[in-house]
Amino acid sequence: MKIKLSKNLIKKNHVTNSNLLSKFYFEILHKKILNIGNFNRLISILDYGCGKGDLKKLNKKMNNLSKIINYDKVKSLSDINSYKNIKLNTVVFCQIFYLLKKKEIKKILKEFKAKNKNIDVIVAFSTQGILNKIFAFILGHKDAHYGTKTKPIEEEKILLEECDLIKKINFFGLFKILKLKFKEI
């Protein structure tokens, strides 16, 4: 299913409108998320900030057994109205925390911890380094990362304050993916 959104809605809500090259970048990112999450087993995953649902599409294409539920603040992109009453094994946050303030990130993490302290938390984020800036220009996404409220180094620090690191992928300095578990108190 192809989703059509207005340019204003895309820009306002930071939904990536991929071209051929950026689709390749995001496919690599999403494959790494699927691998680190070990999604080839029967589990329920929430893709929080799912955008156009590319992670779910790739998961299905790879014939993984897991079920991905899309959730986005843009209701037309979501499978559900609210994630609060669904049972989850994993929550994925793919390149969304940079748009939030530190206290908003902590609030979301505390909300999920209260819901189920044993879920896997997978967070993918751009390093926003020089390579990202070069690729953003080449890929025609010169406004990539506009509206950043939390820098990548701060984002990782917040995550490690709230969670224990299980596994980390650093993809050539372009992005990082962290698999985490909530810390025991």
Name the percent of the chain lying above pLDDT 90: 68
Helix (H, G, I), strand (E, B) or coil at 22: helix
Residue 14 in this model has a pLDDT that exceeds 80: no
Q: Of residues 11 and 170, which shows the higher confidence score?
A: 170
In whole angstroms, give the CA distance from residue 63 to residue 57: 10
pLDDT tens string 28-71:
999 999 999 999 998 999 999 999 999 999 999 999 999 999 99
What CATH code is carried by the domain that includes residue 120? Answer: 3.40.50.150
Asked if residue 161 belongs to a domain, the reply is yes
Name the percent of the chain lying above pLDDT 70: 88
Asked if residue 158 belongs to a domain, the reply is yes
CA dihedral 87, 88, 89, 92 (to 10 degrees): 180
Asked if residue 2 belongs to a domain, the reply is no
Asked if residue 135 belongs to a domain, the reply is yes
CA dihedral 57, 2, 137, 149 (to 10 degrees): -70
pLDDT tens string 77-135:
999 999 999 999 999 999 999 999 999 999 999 999 999 999 999 999 999 888 888 87
**Number of domains making up the chain:** 1
Asked if residue 55 belongs to a domain, the reply is yes
Residue 8 in this model has a pLDDT that exceeds 60: no
Asked if residue 1 belongs to a domain, the reply is no
> Which ranges in the chain belong to alpha helices (H)?
7-13, 20-36, 54-61, 102-115, 130-138, 152-162
pLDDT tens string 138-179:
777 777 777 889 999 999 999 999 999 999 999 999 999 999
In whole angstroms, give the CA distance from residue 14 to residue 99: 9
Instruction: Give me the domain span that covers residue 78.
Output: 7-182
Listed residue (56, 53, 52, 45) closest to 83, CA to CA: 45
Cβ contact 66:40 at 8 Å: yes
Query: What pLDDT, on a 0 to 100 scale, did the predictor assign at position 19?
Result: 62
